[in-house]
Amino acid sequence: MARPVTLFTGQWADLPFEEVAKLASGWGFDGLEIACWGDHLDVARGATDDAYIADRLAILEKYDLKVFTISNHLTGQAVCDDPIDQRHRDMLPDAVWGDGDPEGVRQRAAEAMMNTARTAARLGVKTVVGFTGSAIWKYVAMFPPASEALVEEGWTDFKKRWDPILDVYGELGVRFAAEVHPSELAYDYWTTKKMLEVIDRPELGINWDPSHMVWQDVDPAGFLLDFADKIYHVHAKDSKKNFNGRNGRLSSHLPWADPRRGWDFVSVGHGDVPWESCFRMLNHIGYAGPISVEWEDAGMDRLRGAPEALGFVRSQMWEPPSAAFDAAFSTK
């Protein structure tokens, strides 16, 4: 099943957008998943400025690239997060941060996520990828004890904040693919199921990124099968477990690439994601959208890692047969 392979620009946002487009084109990517930070895509401008949209599209056309998705993880994180603190100040646009009042930040982040849908529609894009944030991630250790009612308040808060955002997506014919990821409301199998029950509407689906599943011992191929109709986008990213009796699953507040971590992100094909099983499952469920390389590896230069990842992903994308192998046994 032929699928486009794109490069997610989030880890390249320190470079000008046109420079990233030139690199991706030279390596042979089919398109970009454009991040809404750095100078890559300004959703406040994109929501209203025809000339700005034309400029982004012209750069893509110059390098023979398509855009299938845009991503606004950093701003989406602030919609539900509690607490809002210095971590958010360090990654949010000034217009979203404002005076830093937490509730004001959340409301401005929600409006920016609506503008992300408006920008997507004006680019001809049907899927936005991002984070939701979470008011209850801080309770993940369940101590001090967090009551069932306290946890449910977080899900109620999620619905209250995201339903109006998704109303805009619905009006524009754009879908939101929430990335299943630690620090979000949906971070594993059962929280994903809960998220889709709390907001049961076609605008909300999943960005499947297996790198966040394997270190939690969640089966990424089984996840695809069970949530097949909600897989709106796919990230090709990998992680490697390093549990040796000393290194813990929560990684001890250690930096990326520290050998004392229990797991780490690595370039695609160098980790524990069972890619062949996953690509066979993507064929089985009929996923026809882009495979987007999200390159993260603190132990490898990205100029090596990105083109290598592209080659690896393409090596996994063979066409399924038109008939079962035992059809050749038939005498009919």
- State the pLDDT at residue 1: 56
Burial class (CB in 10 A: 0-12, 13-18, 19+), 70: buried
The Cα 130–Cα 58 span in angstroms is 25
Q: What is the pLDDT of residues 13-31, one digit of tens each?
A: 999 999 999 999 999 999 9
Split into its structural domains, the chain has a count of 1
Domain containing residue 108: CATH number: 3.20.20.150
Query: Can you give the three-state secondary structure of the chain, one letter per residue?
Result: CCCCEEEEHHHHCCCCHHHHHHHHHHHCCCEEEEECCCCCCCHHHHCCCHHHHHHHHHHHHHCCCEEEEEECHHHHHHHHCCCCCHHHHHHCCHHHHCCCCHHHHHHHHHHHHHHHHHHHHHHCCCEEEECCCCCCHHHCCCCCCCCHHHHHHHHHHHHHHHHHHHHHHHHHCCEEEEECCCCCCCCCHHHHHHHHHHCCCCCEEEEECCHHHHCCCCCHHHHHHHCHHHEEEEEECEEEECCCCCCCCCHHHCCCCCCCCCEEEECCCCCCCCHHHHHHHHHHHCCCCCEEECCCCCCCCHHHHHHHHHHHHHHHCCCCCCCCHHHHHCCC
Query: Could you tell me the pLDDT band of residue 152, with boundaries at 50, 70 and 90?
Result: very high
- State the pLDDT at residue 231: 98
- State the pLDDT at residue 329: 76
Whether 104 has a pLDDT exceeding 90, the answer reads yes
Find, among 27, 48, 50, 46, the residue nearest to 35 by Cα.
46
- State the pLDDT at residue 331: 67
The reply to whether the predicted model has a pTM over 0.85 is: yes
Query: Could you tell me the pLDDT band of residue 324, with boundaries at 50, 70 and 90?
Result: confident
- State the pLDDT at residue 319: 81
pLDDT mean over 263-272: 98
Q: Which two tokens stand for residue 131?
A: 């984070």
**221, 195 contact by CB (below 8 A):** no
Pairing verdict, β 263-266 and 238-241:
antiparallel
Residue for token pair 């690896």: 312
Q: What is the pLDDT of residues 115-133, one digit of tens each?
A: 999 999 999 999 999 999 9
- The boundaries of the domain holding residue 258 are 5-329
